[in-house]
Amino acid sequence: MKTGSTPAPVQNNTFSLLQELKAPGKRWFWLFLAMVAGALIGYGVHFLLPPKYASSAAITFSIDFTRTGEMTDVETDIAIVTVGDILSSGTVINNTLKSGMSANLPEISFTLETTAFLERYSYRYELVVENEDPKTAAKWANLWADEGLAVLSEAKLHALNADSLYKQLLAAQDCLQQSGLVEPVAAGCQGLSNAELEEKLAGFNQAYLEEKDKSLGYLPAMDYTLTRQAEPAAQPERNLAGSMVLGGALLGAALFSALILFTCRKQRG
Give the model's pLDDT for residue 5: 54
At 35 the pLDDT is: 78
The pLDDT tens digits along the chain (269 residues) read: 445 555 555 455 554 555 555 554 456 677 777 778 777 776 676 666 678 899 999 999 999 999 999 999 999 999 999 999 999 999 999 999 999 999 999 989 999 999 999 999 999 999 999 999 999 999 999 999 999 999 999 999 999 999 999 998 888 788 777 765 444 444 456 666 778 778 888 888 999 999 999 999 999 999 999 999 999 999 886 556 677 777 777 887 787 777 777 776 666 65
Q: Collect all residues with Cβ–Cβ distance below 8 Å to 157 and sequence separation of at least 6.
A: none
Spell out the alpha helix ranges (H) of the chain: 17-22, 28-46, 65-68, 73-87, 90-102, 134-178, 194-214, 241-268
Domain ranges of the chain: 53-228
- Tell me phi and psi for residue 116, to 5 degrees: -125, 130
> Which three-class secondary structure state does DSSP give residue 193?
coil
| Sign of CA pseudo-dihedral 71, 72, 76, 79 | negative
Task: Compute the Cα dihedral for 99, 102, 103, 108 and give only its sign.
Answer: positive
**Could you tell me if 109 and 92 are in contact, meaning their C-beta atoms sit under 8 angstroms apart?**
no
Rounded Cα distance between 205 and 202, Å, is 5
CATH 3.30.70.1130 fits 53-228, yes or no: yes
Residue 51 DSSP one-character state: P
Q: What is the pTM of this model?
A: 0.70
